[in-house]
Structure 1
Amino acid sequence: MLRVNDPFRETGAAPPSASGRPSVVALQAREKYLIGALVVLTLAALFAPALPAAAWPIPHYVDTRIWLGLPNAGDVLSNLAFLAMGVWGSERLRGRNDAPVGASWFFVGLILTCLGSGFYHLDPDVPQRLVADRLGMAVAFAGFLGIAAGERISVRAGEAVLVLMMVAGLLAAWVARENLTPWVVVQFGGMALAVGLALTRPRPGALGVPLGGVIAFYVLAKLFELGDATIFEATGHIVSGHALKHLSAALAAWPVIRALRPAVPQSARS
């Protein structure tokens, strides 16, 4: 009998899907690209020129109003949005076995961001308080990148990215007291990685988290941050751009929470 060689059978990979979904071969190629991107980010964090934290200007936040004895009340209380979204998302995860990799850490990171950022904004003139702010952000960001890699590449890729970015982010947040370079690489390099993952097709079996929505809220938050004083003046001192930054960044959890909505029973659909 004539034997025809089947490369997919020999490699254990599935042939390309007629539905347009990525095949196992394509997913394995994505893992290789992911490894390459992580290597580049690691080298940049380790060997790029240092950005001394002492030479970086201390941020000046325009809304310093006191409310009920609470200093900088607008910037402090707006962090409660992180707490609300973190608790809501954590509740959505209860009893689910199909949650994306990193989702639980993402929501825990939002709660920690509320605590850390609130603590920092009570007295932002103390640079050491920034460490608490960044530690919470690092946990949330690692969780998001774990979700992104798990949704677009593979579960094992999501788990690996979650662990690596968690360690890198926490170390970068600590080192940022003296050298900001690792933190800049983690924040902006990690977001570039997230954009690349958002532009790829979801893997078979993925929950379908709209990564683009998360990124859009993050970009909007950055714009609000840059327009802190302008927005404060434009709104007649009602709200500052930095407070809106907190609200927008917290809303970045909404696309993830929406993807975790309870499934509608088949009987209810009919």
Structure 2
Amino acid sequence: MRRRTISAWTVAVICFVVLMIVTPAIPQSQEYHDFADKREFLGIPNALNVISNFPFLVIGVIGLIILYHGKYCKLSLQGELWGWTCFYIGVGAVAFGSAYYHLTPNDATLVWDRLPMTIAFTSIVAIFIIERIDEKKGTISIIPLVLAGIISIVYWRFFDDLRPYAVVQFAPCIAIPLMAILLPPMYTHSTYWLWAAGFYLLAKVLEAADKPVYKWTNHIVSGHTLKHLAAAMVPVFLTLMLVKRTTQIERQSLLQTWRISWTKRREGNSNIESYTCSYSTVSTEDTR
């Protein structure tokens, strides 16, 4: 197992180094800061893009309350508590960092938008390792993963290169749904991970369609504002999962569950019900 772990990390590092060598640097486009909705309300510039971050604070605080009151959710492992604590701190901090960025959008303020998001991303990866691979390895990985996320932000600011940040942001988007489907979980309600991944994907689509959405809604709301609301649904679904889930006695991956369900459905469709009919003889003799 130790050799496999070392091999996995070695392969990951080699792939990252090769990626950095063969791909060109990705500078931060200044067009990114040009959002569709620049309206000011109550003296707040870019008001809706600022205010729409408030749900992150709400769900971050709720998540921490749930974690530290055992009657709401039960965590089997100490490492899980640390991982989820980092996650909800990151989520709550997004409200402040993203709001600060949208007041005056530029590269310097964007750091404070991306930093808490990166902490949340990397914490989730550590949580998955704890739950589905190995508790000790996952717990140990919390600090290195969070540091890797922070370093990716620092690297971008010093060298104007988004490649490390892109890896930190998008690698979990691929790894987490795959692990959710393929690896057997400790707990029930694993499908909530897929709902969270779906809302994150929706948020990225809305972010890319910021100006078209603003136009389609007749300048009522922009894609970026809706992006914040869709992204806030990610921790909402994960919080619902924490509250609802129970320890799974027989650990079974979602893929195995789906296969069993498909097999039962096919067998059910192939069964042909047979009916037996009995006939009685009816006398036609005239009894008059």
With the shorter chain as reference, the TM-score category is 0.7 to 0.9
**Which of 149, 162, 170 is residue 169 of structure 1 equivalent to?**
149
Say which SS state the counterpart of residue 98 (structure 1) adopts.
coil
Alignment correspondent of 1:110: 91
On the 8 A contact 1:119/1:129 being kept in 2, the answer is yes
Alpha carbons 1:37, 1:193 under 8 Å: kept: no
Q: 2:48 aligns with which of 74, 91, 104?
A: 74
**Corresponding residue for 2:137?**
157
1:177-236 deviation digits (Å, cap 9, x = unpaired): 222111111111232222331222334x44655321221111010011111111112222
Q: Is the 8 A contact 1:221 1:244 kept in 2?
A: yes
1:119 matches 2:100: yes
Question: How far has the Cα of 1:238 moved from its partner?
Answer: 1.6
Indicate the structure whose relative CO is greater, using CA pairs within 8 Å and at least 6 residues apart: 1
RMSD value, Cα? 2.7
Measured in 2, the distance between the counterparts of 1:29 and 1:212 equals 31
Distance verdict in 2 for CA 1:81–1:182, change over 3 Å: same
Aligned equivalents of 1:45, 1:110: Cα separation in 2: 29
Which residue of structure 2 aligns with residue 65 of structure 1?
Answer: 39
Structure-2 change in CA distance of 1:42 and 1:168 (3 Å)? farther
Which residue in 1 is equivalent to 2:111? 131
Q: Secondary structure at the match of 1:91?
A: helix
Seen in structure 2, the aligned counterparts of structure 1 residues 240 and 76 have a Cα distance that, compared at 3 Å, is same
CA drift at 1:34: 5.3
Superposition deviation, residue 37 in structure 1:
6.1
In structure 1, the partner of 2:58 is: 84
CA 1:84–1:154: 2 relative to 1, 3 Å: same
Q: Supply the distance in 1 between the matched residues of 2:242 and 2:218 (Cα, whole angstroms).
A: 38
Indicate the larger mover: 209-218 or 53-62: 53-62
Task: Choose which of 195, 199, 205 in structure 1 pairs with 2:181.
Answer: 199
Letter in 2 for 1:110: V
Aligned AA (2:200): Y
The answer (yes or no) to whether the contact 1:41–1:189 under 8 Å persists in 2 is no
Q: TM-score, normalised by structure 1?
A: 0.77
Work out which of the residue numbers 8, 17, 41 in structure 2 matches 1:43: 17
CA contact under 8 A between 2:40 and 2:47: conserved in structure 1? yes
Distance 1:161 1:46, change over 3 A: farther
C-alpha separation between the residues in 1 aligned to 2:245 and 2:172? 31
Q: Which runs of 4+ in 1 moved over 6 A?
A: none
Deviation of the 1:167 alpha carbon = 0.7
Alignment of 1:221-232 (within 5 A): 221-232=203-214
Give structure 2 stretches of 5+ with no counterpart.
247-288
With normalisation by structure 2, the TM-score equals 0.73
User: Which segment is superposed worse, 32-41 or 150-159?
Assistant: 32-41
Distance 2:25 2:33 in 1: 16
Flag the 1:59–1:159 CA change in 2: closer, same or farther, 3 A.
same
Q: What runs of 5+ residues in structure 1 fail to find an aligned partner?
A: 1-24, 265-270
1:218 aligns with 2:200: yes
User: Would the alpha carbon gap of residues 48 and 107 (structure 1) be closer, same or farther in structure 2, given more than 3 Å must change?
Assistant: farther
Give, in whole Å, the separation in 2 of the partners of 1:211 and 1:263.
Answer: 12
Query: SS in structure 1 opposite 2:182?
Result: coil
* Letter paired with 1:167: L
